[in-house]
């Protein structure tokens, strides 16, 4: 094995057989698993941190929004649980199907949306960390953004 073997490998790479190679360190896998488990727990609450995951489909119309939530809310949450289950169930895998990679993509995007809400990140303003914990959350947010971009790139090849 050479000095640079594996250094420039993308985190997700599509192979000729249509499957995907996953090249993540143990630390990266542990971070993703921890964040996925945190999101799974958060989805069992009505936390305002979930607002970007479930934006009101009818804007300010509370009656229509509540009706939609009553009809589709549990199904939306179940889909998120299913994707998170795929991520946590394949967290150690080095080989994934396209469907599994898509579940990773959806879950990582969901986690990133929640982190963005927690951090108060918006398109209108920059981000200034107030302490080390906030900086660590922002670093995770940025890492997940990079990972999401690499997953999308792999899926589009």
Q: What is the pLDDT of residues 6-64, one digit of tens each?
A: 456 899 999 999 999 999 999 999 999 999 999 999 999 989 999 899 877 777 888 87
The pLDDT of residue 124: 74
Q: What does pLDDT average to over the chain?
A: 90
Say what the pLDDT of residue 109 is: 98
Cα 50–Cα 52–Cα 58 angle in degrees, nearest 5: 110
> What is the four-CA torsion angle of 131, 118, 85, 155, rounded to 10 degrees?
-90
pTM above 0.75, yes or no: yes
């Amino acid at each position: 094995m050479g000095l640079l073997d594996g250094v420039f490998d993308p985190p997700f790479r599509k192979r000729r057989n249509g499957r995907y190679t996953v090249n993540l360190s143990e630390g990266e896998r542990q971070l993703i698993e921890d964040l996925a488990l945190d999101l799974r727990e958060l989805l069992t609450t009505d936390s305002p941190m979930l607002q970007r995951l479930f934006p009101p489909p009818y804007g300010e119309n509370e009656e229509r929004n509540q009706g939609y939530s009553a009809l589709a809310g549990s199904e939306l949450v179940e889909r998120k649980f299913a994707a998170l289950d795929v991520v946590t169930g394949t967290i150690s895998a080095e080989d994934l199907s396209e469907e599994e990679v898509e579940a990773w993509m959806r879950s990582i995007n969901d986690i990133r949306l929640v982190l963005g809400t927690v951090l108060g990140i918006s398109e209108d303003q920059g981000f200034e960390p107030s302490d080390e914990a906030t900086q660590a959350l922002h670093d995770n947010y940025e890492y997940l953004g990079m990972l999401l971009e690499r997953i999308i790139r792999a899926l589009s090849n």
